[in-house]
Amino acid sequence: MSMSLDIAALGPMLAVGVGAILLPIAEVLLARKRTFLSRPLTRERRGTFLAVGSLLCLVIALIVSFNGFVGPVRVFNMSNPMIVMDRVSHFLNIVVLLGAAMTVLVSVKYLADIRTNHGEYYALVMSSVLGMMFLTSATDLILLFLALELMSIPLYVLSGFQRESLRSNESALKYFLVGSFASAILLYGMALLYGATGSVSLAEIGARFDPESAIDMLGAALVLVGLGFKISSVPFHQWAPDVYEGAPTTVTGFMATTVKVAAFGALLRVLTLALEPASDVVYGALWVIAVLTMTVGNLMAIIQQNIKRMLAYSSIAHAGYVLVGLIVGTIEGYAAVLFYLLVYTFMTLGAFTVVAILAKGGEDRDRIDDLAGLGATRPLMAAAMAISMFALAGIPPTAGFMGKFQLFRAAIERGTETGDTSLFVLAILGVLNSAVSLAYYLRVPLVMYFREPDAKLTPDLPGFFERFVLLTCLAAIVLLGVVPGDVFVIFGDFDILSKTTAAAQQLLSPPSP
Amino acid sequence: MLDGIGGWVDQHLLTALIFSPIASLLVPMMLEAFGWRLSVTMWKGFALIVSLVGLGLGIEVWRRFDATVGSMQMVEHSTWISGYGINYYVGIDGISLFLVVLAAFLLPIILIASWVEIAKRVKQYIFFMMLLQTGMLGAFLSLNLFLFYVFWEVMLIPMYFVIGIWGGPGRLYATVKFFIYTMLGSLLMLVGILVLVFLHYQQFPGDPVTFDYIGFAGAPGIIDTPIPTEGQPWWQNQSCLFLLFGLSFAIKVPVFPFHTWLPDAHVEAPTAGSVVLAGVLLKLGTYGFLRYSLPLFPVATIDLAPWVLGLAVIGIIYGALVAMVQQDIKRLVAYASVSHLGFVMLGLFALNLQGLEGALLQMVNHGLSTGALFLLVGMLYQRRHVRDIAEFGGLARVMPTFTAFFVITTMASIGLPLLNGFVGEFLILIGIFAVSPLVAVLATSGIILSAVYMLWMVRRVFFGPLLHDVNRKLVDLGLREKLVATAMVVPMIWIGIYPSSFLRPMDRSLSALLRKMEARGADIAAYQGLGESSGRASKESTDTSGPESGE
């Protein structure tokens, strides 16, 4: 067999990777006294240049991914298919890239506001994105682990990016310790799986997996625990609130969305390819984890005073909802997961963007009370925040409702088909959790609209980039909620609901090498 | 262009009715976007014109309505999300007709009544009222379960803001409680809807998944799905599904013991909010029972009816007793609402024509009389900024016109003959007597109690000596307020004197509903009591309803 490498399959990764390498160099060039623009640049200017540069790479990667999405499945190396660029990877990459692009746009002013405008920020974001993109397309344990580390290590640095801040340092240290711990567990699980099956390819592990054997099951369990840390499912969630609270807000938004998307991508692959033979036990365990995750996340979010902490618990709860789709395990279930991850990214980033804009004078203003009177002083920001909250709570006609609807629809569909009561109970627990979540989501519009503003603390006007992000999130939340079937018509024939279904279909029928 | 719009409206009357409130707001918004500064009065005037157009559309729907047909009319159907069975599907029948007309009728009245009261954030207020109107009309007219659910939930957000921004001192607590209570119920309903839809899908394997309640163009709708009563997993049984739907409706009605959000919401809401809440929003709960629970789960309905009747009776008596000890007039009216809606529930679960007609009519009646009471209390509050009964006394001397309107409304509310409340309560009592004389007797005691607390309140507020000097300076109703009050009283008298113009259009649809229940396995005859007693009851009812409607 000849070595045929399909380099072009890696198009989106290349665009991002080139960016990750060139950006630090560009920073050095821009920081010199005599730049190629022949005059020294201020720190802000440099940041803007680098942000636009990274944005360029991300947009190129987005375009390539869109093209790949409608094209056929491509495998990087046919003789050893470690990287499969199918619709699932492209879809998740698009979500990750969108999240990253919005993060970069918001970071420009935010980094200046918290006086941490260092150029390496963008290079770190790009490397992390690169890791995520490999993670969503990895069908091999080795690559999966490498991608996971490539994603995580820049994030450890990013969460400690505000060097002078104690909170930020604490966040980085905690994230690093827990993250390495999780990686070690994951690696241990992988080693066991390799030892038991003699292969690192997910598909081959699936073929040789023996659900009767203790080693196989232990390996599977440890892999799930390792990934469970990354999606912050209960009981592997304790790091999330502390890390999210301390990290710079834009980084938190980035972590809360893209990392989850990529980790869920990996989980999807592992569950469908490798752990299929053990599905009964695995899904039983996931059922318990999903219920715990939703319940603990929502209950803990109620008592938070800090909005970043609240959103951290909210993101834990949402991981629980997404798990519902995985447990269902049908095409509809996976399609719902993909759709939900897209919607979740917009909802959560919308909220984090508002929090990022509020930062002023070198400090975050991230108590919920800091939002008082925002409805009167900054109507657009307040509207974006309120609609994000309503969407996260799953109130129609927002995208958040459509996402939850898809998840629970898939569960009930499967449940009525098989008469499986546990899926019905899961749906009931899910909607009860949604009702509980109202208690904290509603507090935000309540503070913004029903309380008088603090006259001393008028927040900055959102700049052009921020306004662009807010409007994008708003448009996405409304459009994906009202006309999910017709969204993206402007990009050609791109019906998001049928396309997520098509992507999910590919997940169940992976290409054979 | 106007012809084009007119022609479109002619073809899509119900769509125009549902979306005209919210869509028309684009006009002033565009004007403002292009730099015109519209004054607050212009915004209010525009909203009033839109609401009057809405009323016109509502009356046009009533005019076109064919009372000889029991099925859906003026149906519109188009795909919303293809492949998911989610369609934009609306239609009207005798069950929704008057609730829709009531909603269209109340909006202009509310806007006129709150012309002065709402002073801050007028634009937002108008936006939320219009969104609320769209949500309510949409929920009444939807024939697709998904569409129904979306409209049902869309109502929550504007109501949340209306109470939260323009409400009284305890508004934050009240509005969050209202939101969480109602949302909890409706989320469970969503699961119920999904189970139903996929049961349907299993029963009709050749057909695509559909959320259409009534089949369109020959396809079977959800209503044609046979739902097992046993044998399947427990959560696919009628009883479980009935509970999933019923809890949502029961919270909205509200049925005792799910009523605790209501007094808080009513007391804290601004007048407009209270009127919409009492007038239309609560009716969605009873409408939901009538439209969905009864025909979809007829066997479970009969199985669980004793429980519902029991809760309804408790609600009637409990609401009345609690109303009796209230110091705050608005709170009193709120508890009276709980009591009166218990009657509506009794009528619904009597499961005979008299009961259903009475219940449906009583929904309209309650909307009118309780709505009017809230409007009048609002006018009083506007003048004195208190609502405690003890703060008033002898108002009849200083505000004779106001007193007259208030007394008429009170009489309508406690069911004085020749006013609307009497007809509804009477029909309900006939209906429920056929099922259980005991329940009827207990319910009648609720009527007596309601007379007690209402008349007591009227005596203490309006008659006797003028106790407080502040009240000497109160001015009687102005022209605007007289207009509002008159508009509310006229239909009360109309229904009281000539109810047939309202009962006739309901007739066919309600008997069709009862036939549907029987066809779906409900043994209504057995439920109505066996043999002779049943015959006597129905004979009695025909005897009495004869002169009633011919009056």
What stretches of B463-530 show up as alpha helix (H) in DSSP?
479-497, 500-519, 524-527
By DSSP bridging, strand A74-75 and strand A84-85 are antiparallel
Return the structure tokens found at A192: 């066991």
Q: How many residues does chain A have?
A: 513
What integer pLDDT is reported at residue A510 of this predicted model?
56
- Lowest mean per-residue pLDDT among A113-127, B52-66, B277-291: A113-127
**Residue to substitute from B79, B163, B166, B194, interface A, most A β-carbons within 10 A:** B194
Contact B184 A390 (CB under 8 A): no
Measuring CA to CA, which residue among B403, B272, B283 is closest to residue B348? B283
What integer pLDDT is reported at residue A185 of this predicted model?
94
Query: Positive or negative CA dihedral for B275, B277, B281, B283?
Result: negative
> How close A349 comes to chain B (CA, Å)?
22
> Out of A396, A428, A485, whose CB is closest to B154?
A396
Task: Tell me the chain B residues in contact with residue A434 when contact means C-beta distances shorter than 8 Å.
Answer: 183, 187
Cis omega (within 30 of 0) for bond into A397: yes
What integer pLDDT is reported at residue A309 of this predicted model?
92
Q: What is the mean pLDDT of chain A?
A: 87
What integer pLDDT is reported at residue B536 of this predicted model?
43
What integer pLDDT is reported at residue A155 of this predicted model?
94
| Amino acid at position A187, single letter | L
Q: Is the pLDDT of residue B545 over 50?
A: no
Q: Is the pLDDT of residue A509 over 70?
A: no
Contact A431 B199 (CB under 8 A): no
What integer pLDDT is reported at residue A488 of this predicted model?
58
Are A417 and B202 spatial neighbours (Cβ–Cβ below 8 Å)? yes
What integer pLDDT is reported at residue B544 of this predicted model?
43
What integer pLDDT is reported at residue A324 of this predicted model?
93
- Lowest mean per-residue pLDDT among B125-134, B199-208, B255-264: B199-208
What integer pLDDT is reported at residue A295 of this predicted model?
93
Task: Tell me the chain B residues in contact with residue A413 when contact means C-beta distances shorter than 8 Å.
Answer: 194, 198, 201
Average pLDDT of span A423-429: 92
Measuring CA to CA, which residue among A340, A347, A319 is closest to residue A444? A347
The 3-class SS string of A54-96 reads HHHHHHHHHHHHHHHHHCCCEECECCCCCEEECHHHHHHHHHH
Task: Say if B198 is an interface residue toward chain A (CB within 8 Å).
Answer: yes
Contact B233 A419 (CB under 8 A): yes
Residue of B nearest to A480 (CA): B81
What integer pLDDT is reported at residue B310 of this predicted model?
92
B215 backbone dihedrals φ, ψ, rounded to 5°: -60, 145
Longest pairwise C-alpha distance within chain B: 77
B92 backbone dihedrals φ, ψ, rounded to 5°: -135, 145
> Out of B156, B235, B236, whose CB is closest to A395?
B156
- Lowest mean per-residue pLDDT among A68-82, A244-258, A352-366: A68-82
Q: Is the pLDDT of residue B90 over 80?
A: yes
What integer pLDDT is reported at residue A419 of this predicted model?
83
Rounded to the nearest 10 degrees, what angle do helices B261-268 and B171-203 cross at? 130
Are A137 and A102 spatial neighbours (Cβ–Cβ below 8 Å)? no
Identify the H or E element spanning B436: none
Structure ipTM: 0.89
Q: How many residues does chain B have?
A: 551
Task: Say if B157 is an interface residue toward chain A (CB within 8 Å).
Answer: yes
Average pLDDT of span A311-329: 93
Task: Say if B270 is an interface residue toward chain A (CB within 8 Å).
Answer: no
Contact B171 A450 (CB under 8 A): yes
Measuring CA to CA, which residue among B152, B461, B153 is closest to residue B326? B461
| Amino acid at position B113, single letter | A
Are A62 and A97 spatial neighbours (Cβ–Cβ below 8 Å)? yes
What integer pLDDT is reported at residue B51 of this predicted model?
92
> Out of B81, B172, B201, whose CB is closest to A497?
B81
Return the structure tokens found at B160: 């949340």
The 3-class SS string of A146-212 reads HHHHHHHHHHHHHHCCCCCCHHHHHHHHHHHHHHHHHHHHHHHHHHHHHHHHCCCEHHHHHHHCCCC
Per-residue CA distances from A417 to A24, A186, A320, B203 (Å): 55, 35, 23, 11
Contact B165 A450 (CB under 8 A): yes
- What tens digit of pLDDT does each residue of A23-65 get? 888 888 887 766 666 667 777 788 888 899 999 999 999 999 9
- What tens digit of pLDDT does each residue of A365-409 get? 888 888 888 888 888 899 999 999 999 999 888 999 999 999 999
What integer pLDDT is reported at residue A341 of this predicted model?
94
Long-range (24+ apart) CB contacts under 8 A made by B535-541 are B537/B430, B537/B433, B537/B434, B538/B352, B538/B434, B540/B430, B540/B433, B541/B352, B541/B354, B541/B430, B541/B431, B541/B434
Average pLDDT of span A263-290: 90
Are A443 and A369 spatial neighbours (Cβ–Cβ below 8 Å)? no
Task: Tell me the chain B residues in contact with residue A372 when contact means C-beta distances shorter than 8 Å.
Answer: none
Provide the pLDDT confidence category of residue B548 given band limits of 50, 70 and 90.
very low
| Amino acid at position A365, single letter | R
> Out of B83, B165, B198, whose CB is closest to A416?
B198
What integer pLDDT is reported at residue A495 of this predicted model?
67
What integer pLDDT is reported at residue A28 of this predicted model?
83
**Residue to substitute from B81, B145, B245, interface A, most A β-carbons within 10 A:** B81
What integer pLDDT is reported at residue A34 of this predicted model?
66
- What tens digit of pLDDT does each residue of A216-240 get? 999 999 999 999 999 999 888 889 9
Return the structure tokens found at B86: 């989610």
Question: In this structure, what DSSP letter does residue A512 have?
Answer: P
Provide the pLDDT confidence category of residue B395 given band limits of 50, 70 and 90.
confident
Q: What is the CA radius of gyration of chain A?
A: 22
- What tens digit of pLDDT does each residue of A340-350 get? 999 999 999 99
What integer pLDDT is reported at residue B541 of this predicted model?
44
CB contacts under 8 A, B 32-91 vs A, are: 80-84
Q: Is the pLDDT of residue B416 over 90?
A: no
Return the structure tokens found at A198: 């003699």
More confident residue, B525 or B269: B269
The answer for residues whose C-beta is within 8 angstroms of residue A66's C-beta and 6 or more apart is A90, A94, A491
- What tens digit of pLDDT does each residue of A438-496 get? 889 988 988 888 887 776 667 778 888 899 999 999 999 998 888 887 665 555 556 67
- What tens digit of pLDDT does each residue of B331-361 get? 999 999 999 999 999 999 988 888 999 999 9
Looking at chain B, the whole-number percentage of residues with pLDDT higher than 70 is 96
Q: Is the pLDDT of residue A178 over 70?
A: yes
Provide the pLDDT confidence category of residue A188 given band limits of 50, 70 and 90.
very high
Provide the pLDDT confidence category of residue A132 given band limits of 50, 70 and 90.
very high
Are B352 and B514 spatial neighbours (Cβ–Cβ below 8 Å)? yes
Q: Is the pLDDT of residue B55 over 90?
A: yes
Residues of chain A contacting B, Cβ within 8 Å = 390, 395-397, 401, 405, 408-409, 412-413, 415-417, 419, 421, 424, 427-428, 431-432, 434-435, 438-439, 442-443, 445-446, 449-450, 483-485, 497-498
CA atoms within 13 A on the CB side of A191: 6
B87 backbone dihedrals φ, ψ, rounded to 5°: -125, 155
Q: Is the pLDDT of residue B533 over 70?
A: no
Are A322 and A433 spatial neighbours (Cβ–Cβ below 8 Å)? no
Q: Is the pLDDT of residue B540 over 50?
A: no
Task: Say if B233 is an interface residue toward chain A (CB within 8 Å).
Answer: yes
- Lowest mean per-residue pLDDT among A58-67, B240-249, B525-534: B525-534
